[in-house]
Amino acid sequence: MQSTEIVTAETLEFTDLEVSKPAALNVPTVDLTEMTEMPDLDAGNVMLLDLSSEYWSPLNAGEAKRLLFVKIDNTQVQDINDPNLILHLPCAFFLEKDKSGIKQIRNGSKRLVAALENVPAGMPLLITYKGKIQNKNNAFKSDNWSVKPIIIKI
């Protein structure tokens, strides 16, 4: 016999969302509580990875990037209607190689973030911006994406 029980879904706020934790960088650190002198930072090698991130806002449909997925994490942004209000926006973070090294980029499109919720860190992806599409639930338009895994030799 089938159950006729109705289950009500709980509405979550942005702050209630679970996000994946970033993978730890394998970089030696200095124990500041035990440090007796400053290490020679000039003698160290600088990684090609830039830890700061840029927000990727594609302008035209068809714009694509080959990226490594890193994580989904909250980013603090100002509310469009109230600049004194800070919101926590879930963003997808990626690594992209360019002529100066490896940079980190992020995007907070709800459709893109949702597509990446179960993607493991380190997965190579071809992400293509497909333009705006009309929302079914309101009068607004949302960004539309194609997210395809890339098979690479490691």
CA 147 from centroid of its chain's CA atoms: 13
Q: What does the pLDDT look like over 69-94, one tens digit per residue?
A: 999 999 888 888 888 899 899 999 99
Q: What are phi and psi of 66, to 5 degrees?
A: -100, 115
Cα(44)–Cα(40) distance, integer angstroms: 7
pTM of the model: 0.71
Supply the CATH classification number for the domain 49-149.
Answer: 2.40.50
Domain positions in the chain: 49-149
Q: Are 144 and 136 in contact (CB under 8 A)?
A: no
Q: pLDDT, tens digit, for every residue of 6-62?
A: 433 343 343 444 444 445 567 888 889 998 999 899 998 888 888 888 989 999 999
Cα radius of gyration (the chain): 20
